[in-house]
Amino acid sequence: MNATIPAGGGAEIILDYAIEAGAWPAEDALLALARRAIGAAILRSDAQRDERVSVSLLFTDDDEIREINRQWRGKDKPTNVLSFPAAQPAIAGPVSSSLGDIVIAYETVAREAGEEARSFEDHLTHLIVHGFLHLLGYDHETDEEAEEMEALERNILESLAIADPYA
């Protein structure tokens, strides 16, 4: 399935999404949340906007994300979100027509939200923003990268009236 997200300046993001497994909220609620998260992220990031770019978003469960994590990252465990950029992105440069894929696991998101006393929707929004920023080339491998990415995440989430997840 797909949906369109305005990205400013006449550009748009085509969101290809699938709900594969997990006890996810209704499709319309997930789509609204994803559109809101990615829309805010693209507007506040430094990426230049092409006319149309696409992002693939897969909502799945811990079993499936564990297999993907093992196969592609050599880590045999579930995780909350995985991002797979389609091409080598440049933070302040043009983006390709396909940014890449984001995969999110229901059980891990729900468990973390409970442990952090955050709403499921706020935590999921944060993870979609986080995954999307990875597609744009942001990372957190070094302290400097982490500070830059986390500051941008805070800014995006604040614009959505979501509390700082790193506080």
Domain boundaries, the chain: 2-159
Tens digit of pLDDT for each residue in 49-80?
A: 566 778 999 999 999 999 999 999 999 999 99
Phi, psi of 160 (to 5 degrees): -100, 10
Write down the pLDDT at residue 48.
57
End-to-end alpha carbon distance in the chain: 36
Q: What is the pTM of this model?
A: 0.90
Distance (Å, whole) CA 128 – CA 108: 14
Cα 44 versus chain centre, distance = 14
Fold classified for 2-159: Collagenase (Catalytic Domain) (3.40.390)
Maximum separation of any 2 CA atoms in the chain, in Å: 42
Write down the pLDDT at residue 49.
58
Distance (Å, whole) CA 41 – CA 153: 8
What is the average pLDDT score of the chain?
A: 88
Residue 30's alpha-carbon distances to 23, 35, 45, 58, in angstroms, are 12, 9, 22, 11
